[in-house]
Amino acid sequence: MADRPTVEWRRHLDEQTAQLRAGTLDECDAWAVRLFPDSLIAATDAALDDFERALTLIDVRSDVAVLAEVERVVVALNGVDERHGGSGYETGEREELCDYIDAALTDAGVDVAAVAAGSGLKRWEITDRWRDW
């Protein structure tokens, strides 16, 4: 399955938390601690777990089924972002999540460009109609 952005987020968080404890990083420089609280990472992973599981159960040749799962994961991520004050995902994280969704679909056998084109979209627009983050 595609590489999750949360793996890198967790790595940065763990590194900076250790540096803070060791006194080798000033709190004002601990950007990952502010950007990636445990609750954000856990909730994002839960949404991505559900998405990955769903991709094994649906007919990936069905545009309707694929788009329903894209909508479901995007709406779930909207909820995560909302629970984190609407600032859970900044520009970089948004791009990483969209890239992950595309890669997970591709890994599952979905022709993302064709599904998007069937809705009059470019592949990078597949999440846009539901995405609030």
Looking at the domain assignment, is residue 14 inside a domain? no
Looking at the domain assignment, is residue 81 inside a domain? yes
Q: Is the pLDDT of residue 1 over 80?
A: no
Structure confidence at residue 83 (pLDDT): 95
Range of the domain at 103: 37-125
DSSP state of 26: -
Looking at the domain assignment, is residue 13 inside a domain? no
Instruction: Write the CB contacts of 71 (distance below 8 Å, at least 6 apart in sequence).
Output: 129, 130
d(CA 78, CA 49): 15
Structure confidence at residue 87 (pLDDT): 83
Note the pLDDT tens digit of each residue in 77-129.
999 999 999 888 999 999 999 999 999 999 999 999 999 999 999 999 999 99
Looking at the domain assignment, is residue 70 inside a domain? yes
Looking at the domain assignment, is residue 51 inside a domain? yes
- Please state the pTM of the whole predicted model: 0.94
Measured between alpha carbons, how far is residue 69 from residues 21, 22, 52, 59 in Å?
41, 43, 10, 11
Work out how many domains the chain is built from and give that number. Answer: 1
**HSE-up of 55 (CA within 13 Å, CB side)?**
21
